[in-house]
Structure 1
Amino acid sequence: MAQRPDGIPPEELDDDTLRREVKHLHDTRHDALLGGSESALHAHTERMLALESEFLRRFPIESAPDPQRTRAGRR
């Protein structure tokens, strides 16, 4: 099996795995920021952005902001 240094491409993950990966990255973000090397933080950021972009693409309704958290909704 070929190694994928950047992980499985987000578009190849099933929905449950994508959700799990996004949650895991959010859970580990603080540690990467405070304790990781510059290259580890960069890799974490790149992976997080790729997974979040795929999540937003797949789940636009779930990802929509709560109207009460927008300026227009608070007026």
Structure 2
Amino acid sequence: MTEPENQHRGVEAARLGEHDLIKELENIHRSRHDTLLHGSPAALAAHTTRMAELEEEYLRRHPERPVSAGRTREGARARAPQE
């Protein structure tokens, strides 16, 4: 990757401290909707790539993260109205 491309993408996710990784994730998730609706195809592609990089790094660091029961398939079915 060339230097200008690297500057555009930001610091490699693996090199971010924990606080900065969380901050980057919060920022990218906050801007996702606007990028999807109004960003150019190149901007959306760059956003998707960066978001995946940050999320993969978070999951690498936290493989045993707590998962809410409501965020599982079984939990979602339990919320669905029964016919």
Using structure 1 for the length normalisation, give the TM-score: 0.82
Match of 1:65 in 2: 67
CA distance in 2, matches of 1:33, 1:68: 26
CA distance in 2, matches of 1:32, 1:69: 25
Number of residues paired by the alignment?
A: 73
CA distance in 2, matches of 1:10, 1:31: 22
Structure 1 position 28 matched with structure 2 position 34 = no
Identity of aligned residues (%): 42
After superposition, the Cα gap between the structure-2 partners of 1:72 and 1:19, relative to the gap in structure 1 and judged at 3 Å, is: same
Match of 1:7 in 2: 10
What is the one-letter code of the residue matched to 1:69?
R
CA distance in 2, matches of 1:68, 1:34: 28
1:72 Cα shift? 4.6
Q: Which runs of 5+ in 2 are unaligned?
A: 79-83
CA distance in 2, matches of 1:36, 1:11: 26
RMSD of aligned residue pairs (Cα, Å): 1.9
CA distance in 1, matches of 2:70, 2:14: 31
